[in-house]
Amino acid sequence: MGASRLRAALSLGIAGALSLFAALLAHEILTFGSSGHGIIGRVTCPDWPCPTLSVITVGLVFKGIGAGLALACLGALLPHAPARLWGAGLLWVLQYLWGLVGIASGYRDQFGPDWHWWQPFAVLMWDPVTTPALLIVGLLACLGLDRLMAGPARPS
């Protein structure tokens, strides 16, 4: 792998991981609060893995790492191509939305067997202002950080 591809992979991977983690954590805090709350209500269980913010934060770190690896692969495949911007944006948006669906689906047992796969997300995670606003801010942060870290494009 050439230096150009490595730099493109690292910049997109790091930008994607950091921005996705920040957007999902901000969504979590803005939607549910920062202390004493799990996803569904007040937390009364003292033992790990009670769904406290610290446990959720650790999960989001791993989500960010996974997304960063996927985006790094894309960055290595498309170091300077115009499709890089669109591919990275689409992959980031899918990771963000699927992250929210995944968090809500972790609490599917609370809803009974007659719920569809998307209903916990609609009830717990969707907010008509917060969800799209953080999607846009996070996506712009990802693409902006990538551009900042990648530096000027150099011919191969």
pLDDT value at position 153? Answer: 58
Mean per-residue pLDDT over the chain, rounded: 82
Give this prediction's pTM: 0.82
Tell whether the model's pLDDT for residue 35 goes beyond 90. no
Q: Which residue has the higher pLDDT, 54 or 142?
A: 142
* 54-78 tens-digit pLDDT: 777 888 999 999 999 999 999 999 8
* 81-118 tens-digit pLDDT: 788 889 999 999 999 999 888 777 766 666 777 877 77
CA dist 65 to 34, 88, 101, 113, 152, Å?
22, 15, 18, 32, 25
Residue pair 12/151 in contact (Cβ under 8 Å)? The answer is no
pLDDT band at 50 (very low <50, low <70, confident <90, very high): low
